[in-house]
Amino acid sequence: AEDAINALKEMSTPNASVIRDGKETSIKSTELVVGDIVRLEAGDIVPADVRLIESASLQVEEASLTGESVPINKSAETLQETDLPLGDRTNLGFMNTNVTYGRGVGVVTGTGMQTEIGHIAGMLEATDETKTPLQANLAKLGQVLTYLILGFAVVTFIVGLARGKETIIDMLLTSISLAVAAIPEGLPAIVTITLALGTTRMAARHALVRKLPAVETLGSTDIIGSDKTGTLTQNKMTVEKLVVNTEISDAATTEELTGTYARLADILALNNDTKRTENGFIGDPTETALIAFNENHGRDLDKLFTEMPRVAEIPFDSERKLMSTVHPAPTGYIITVKGAPDELLKRATRIEINGEIKPLSDDIRAKLLSINSELATQALRVLGFAYKTVDQIPGNLDTETVEQELVFTGFVGMIDPERPEVAQAVAEAKAAGIRPMMVTGDHRDTAAAIAIRLGILDEADKETAVIS
């Protein structure tokens, strides 16, 4: 187990692009020192704690520290407040977090144990180790046996002398021999072999045990506390619901994408900054989920990107909560827009239903907002999508010109789904008398929704069993 863990540590050591003496070079992150200038790009693992000095649409996923699977927008601006939570320190990058979008440059402020992840490791090391139930019981057994054996040896010695048939030396040797013979010297070996067999069985199930007594401790478990993101869930955003033609449908059961469904799928792919590499997708988890949705439905994205390349864009910003892209179309150009559903509906005047464009009435708008609220209560992250066609690219590419009089296409509801094997594991734990609990920094409603889906929480206990 130790060799396997050491091998994993070696494999997980990322490289860092560092600027030294005016030259950029790649080194192991373990060779970084405070004051080094590092360059960060999409797909990189932040090699140390850094203070950002440049940021271009930089987004970092910090689930390993905060439990929040949605990437955080980073900037180089000075923060006025002090003692902010980690998730709100937007001008800092933290070691072992993932850059999902954009690029940036930062100055190393901490390495190793001086990083935030290092502080967590330090707290774990500083925790006093308590004896396992087996260790405590063995210690108690040893103490009892010691008293019994000593008592038996003393009684034997006294009785032998009282009979007057043996010398003091003979009785002393006899008593010592009896004491030594009574010691269960094979017990430690038997315990070790038993624990080793348990370790072997766990290794066969891909669980590495570093300390043998931990095997016995697991058998005494009453409560299991687990993080949500990446442990109970896949740490991978997935499209779960579609809202097209003002109706909600399951993304997994929507087999053939035609009509407005096909239009929505095109916009999901076109209005997207995900990059495809040999190792998979690089980008914002939300956007990679939209690309994955298209690929899961067998759509030819290479052909789509070739026929409709991006020729202009208005990047996303947190104020207007929208992103727009411009692409050539069979007649003129198509402008695709995605963003917050309420903001998108404010700018839409028409809606596409079953391939036909109709006016977006107040009743339909109200229904869509109600659907948005319904999906939000299910802990889904909802994005809205719209488009419009133009004869030529607007000369003044601003939001007032581009993001108005849109044709609403649909909503997409996404979630970081639970791991498929977790629900069964939770049921087995409960059957064994173990109480599973979720520990997460996510929003209360999100945590409750996932816990209910996994069987950790009952719907009736939602209000009392969720502590925040």
The catalytic residues are: 227
- Measured CA to CA, the distance from residue 420 to residue 232 in angstroms comes to 9
Centre a 10 Å sphere on the Cβ of residue 307 and count the other Cβ atoms it contains. 12
Rounded to a whole number of angstroms, the CA Rg of the chain reads: 32
Sign of CA dihedral 103, 109, 111, 114: negative
Gap between the Cα atoms of 422 and 427, Å rounded: 9
Handedness of CA 79, 81, 83, 85 (dihedral sign): negative
Cα dist from 98 to 33, 44, 70, 137, whole Å: 20, 6, 11, 45
Residue 177 token pair = 């021999």
Cα separation, 351 vs 269, whole angstroms: 20
Backbone angles phi, psi at 234, to 5 degrees: -85, -5
CA–CA distances in Å: residue 408 to residues 324, 338, 348, 389: 14, 10, 6, 12
Q: How many Cα atoms are found within 13 Å in the side-chain-facing hemisphere of 260? A: 22
Q: How many CB atoms lie within 10 A of CB 12?
A: 10
CB 337 within 8 A of CB 385: yes
Angle CA(359)–CA(309)–CA(355) in degrees, nearest 5?
25
**Measured CA distances, 169 to 25, 165, 179, 324 (Å):** 80, 12, 15, 99
Question: Of 260, 247, 258, 257, which Cα lies nearest the Cα of 355?
Answer: 260
419-444 as b/e, with b when 16 or more CB fall inside 10 Å?
A: eeebeebbeebeeeeeebebebbbee
What H or E segment, with its residue span, contains residue 407? Answer: strand 406-415
Number of H helices, E strands in the chain: 16, 20
Q: Is 69 helix (H, G, I), strand (E, B) or coil?
A: coil
